[in-house]
Chains A and B, each alone.
Chain A
Amino acid sequence: MTEAEELREFADREYEFGFVTDVESDSLPPGLDESTIHQISKLKGEPDWLLEYRLKAFRHWLTMEDPSWSKVERNSIDYQKIIYYSAPKPKKTLDSLDEVDPELLETFEKLGISLDEQKRLSGVAVDAVFDSVSVATTFSDKLAELGIIFGSFSEAVKEHPDLVRKYLGSVVPYTDNFFAALNAAVFSDGSFCYIPAGVRCPMELSTYFRINAAGTGQFERTLIIADDQSTVSYLEGCTAPMRDENQLHAAVVELVALEGATIKYSTVQNWYPGDADGVGGIYNFVTKRGMCKGKRSKISWTQVETGSAVTWKYPSCVLLGDESVGEFYSVALTNNMQQADTGTKMIHIGKSTSSTIISKGISAGRGQNTYRGLVDVKKGATDARNFSQCDSMLLGDRCGAHTFPYIEVRNPTAKVEHEATTSKIGEDQIFYCNQRGISTEDAVSMIVNGFCKEVFSELPMEFAVEAQKLLAVSLEGSVG
């Protein structure tokens, strides 16, 4: 099949990942108090220090208020109605993939994620997270030969407690914000990754998140540590069934790059966006932050946000090490009633630090798209550089695009550049494509893809194709 055909096929579908897998699951009853946290911790067989950490976070959370400053409208969340832990049965330790519930393997196959190592052609190692737990990780053994640790967070707590304890909460403390505190209290699983000094990770590491059970929230936690002079590229994908109620996804991702290390973190977010009238869909309230701790370290975020009813997140970089580099490349698409308030924070602390922000917002239907970003150059950050470019594209006249760039500079040697454009997809562009035989749907897809090119070119090859298809699907019905 050619790309155009694939795109067309995708464009003809509605949200295709909306199915529910029929597996038995162990769930805690809905509701949240200290006993819930004790139970989660006990179910996971956690050490006391982690339980303590959770409880401290929970007590802090109780003192906080659900924030309302973003430019999104949403239903208030009843935190007592959420199920905080749900795991597919049987919950025994898995020695190999053969023991994974075939229903689950099939689910991931359906999502295009083959967990069968034999079948995987490309060099991607996958950690599959289903509701609250990691169900399988591929290529762990091969990676272990290089000293790379890649697997579920729960496993890491058991097998590498020192590393987890040292870095957990070091970039995003539980006091950071309301959802980060909630996550620290109730997080169930997620991925953990450690790249030893001098190692260049030979394959893409990937986590695939799937919410399945009704009424659950997903609170995963990801921690990636790249030791001195190491390099890693990490991918994250996510889907959820179609349900009428809003489901909360409040993840925390922490990245730590030590001296000379590079972390590239890519996300293709395709949570269920709700129906055309805005019923249902995921509330995607995520805290993602990377710390460029060492000299000449680099953290690069690339995100393609097409799903979720509401997306609210700012993958950020703290540029602590001298000459460290932060990058943020983002495509956010909102169609129908979707809302996105996303952007980044680049905190320049070290000397000669530099950052790049490229944000592409696409609004269709009655979608609302907000870029909100902060470039913060601290006093000691001599010779800091930033370049920001925020472009918005509007499809139709019922949608909105908003840009809030905040710039705070406390060092006079800083050079900060900001460019912003807003364009409306042109009737003349569409007619031009039509006149060459290209259908309107394909034309819109093509024009939007062209608009996003600078971001897509940052994605690993495999994801770039997926991202293009996703845009086509998400734009379905946006032109009439």
Chain B
Amino acid sequence: MSLLEVRGVTKRFEGLLAVDSVDLDVGEGDIVGVIGPNGAGKTTLFNCMSGLEAPTSGEIRFRGQMLSGRPDRFTKAGVARTFQNIRLFPHMTVFENVLVGRHCRTHVGLVAAIGRGPKFRREERESGEKADELLEFVGLRRQADTLARNLSYGDQRRLEIARALASEPGVLLLDEPRAGMNAAETRAAADLVRRIRDRGVAVAVIEHDMRFIFGLCDRVAVLVQGRKLVEGTPTEVQGDARVIEAYLGAPTA
């Protein structure tokens, strides 16, 4: 059974049909790619999948449970995401950014936070250990006390992933994780995505870089003008005439 099920999701903005009844499944241990030309509705689909936008119709289920409402409910249920244009908390340290990701897995309330009882201390310690482990995992342990805005571009992307992983998601949605990276960083990013999958977190990834997507994903969905054109293995998608047409245009007679 798939972990995250997207069923007939449609998103309409005024006159524009951004996403048109799309189905998508992300199963346990999957790396699913979503590609498509600019304006195909990829990010809007992700926004619907992570609660940032409510779909006009259709539904999103995670482990069989229907998801709706504000984004924090999606994250708490187990769907975390990163953003195409990195959205960190720039004036917080790298470590604090990851701790914010722990928020929905911790429970200390007002009174306990003021009282500083043993429960508070244990939870803070556990969050700190978890954050340290995640920073080690993405390779930012040494920058833990740096302000997020002072990180290099590639490091900011990795920090965003660490923050998302801190909420212990079942599915991680990555929106263009290699944008602005050079070849070496791109290889490291692909490696990181595989390691995330090996941790038991399924991944759905939007990317324009075909080599990145086809080298990484088990399945690839192609979105064109809001509709899912094709879905299949990288080989199937690469050979599909409709995909080539969508990207390059129909051959003129």
A, B from the same assembly: no
Question: Which residues of chain B have a CB within 8 Å of any CB of chain A?
Answer: none
